[in-house]
Structure 1
Amino acid sequence: MDSEIGLRVDGTPRRLTVDTRTTLLDALRERLGVTSPKKGCDHGQCGACTVLVDGRRVLSCLTLAVARDGAEVVTAEGLAPDGELHPVQRAFIDRDAFQCGYCTPGQVVSAVGMLDELDRGWPSAATGTGEPELDDAEIAERMSGNLCRCAAYANIVPAVREAGR
């Protein structure tokens, strides 16, 4: 069964008709041509498909597009709408926080989302009972849903820390 939905993707309103079983990831990549979210595992285990939906991190491979009708979706492409890199994107480049680059868009979007969560004072398992602090343990915990097969974590964590300053 098909359903018509509307999304605002990287600042642009989009309307499309999708099968009700279509994931947000497939709608973005296959129907709208937005290829920065990657299809890694297609099971919500790697984080390569991470996007921001209404400001919150979401694994787009586990989210049905029809469930996000009317939502604001931001991908890695949408973080730099006028060619001006987002501070997280700049930090990833400055810190050489990628190797093959396949996971990088999901890592970057996840870092943007986690820094917002941190700014809001949302606790994590690493926070304990105090105020969240942007240290290596906090970054590792909050970014744990984003895997890098190349193991670029030694540069990803400092990049996130730098962007969070």
Structure 2
Amino acid sequence: MQNIYLIREGTIAEVVGLSLLIPEFSAPYQEDEYTLRLQGVPSLILVAEHADRVVGFKVGYAKRAEIFYSWMGAVLPEYRQAGVAKALAQAQENWAKLHGFQFIQCKTRNRLKAMLHFALGNGFDIIGVEKREVVGEYRILLQKFL
């Protein structure tokens, strides 16, 4: 598979549709949750296309004036390890920097090891842990200086 992806601004409908195909998402957010979180704040929806198919996405919004929160993102299983997530993350970071943000934050669950490794490998630091009843469900908060 060639590592040629079109990264472009996407829609909530595209993201919700792709979320249904991500095995790690047991109960993907619906359009109303995206609308609620993105309404009235600087935000960005990015999608990655390959051969006219949306294969990944990254959604974020301003948490504070200096912090851009990378809220949701995923790549179809058959496109993982092919540079899609890296291309989406780089485009999101470039946008956030261009729009005056100093930091980018994300949160993942302890059981999602691939996401945790991806964030750490891309310069994020762990800045907090939210405990839950099950260790695998602990939320790991990460941050990167732009």
What TM-score do you get using the length of structure 2 for normalisation?
0.30
What TM-score do you get using the length of structure 1 for normalisation?
0.28
Q: Which has the higher contact order (CA 8 A, sep 6+)?
A: 1
- Structure with higher Rg: it is 1
Higher helix share: 1
Higher strand share: 2
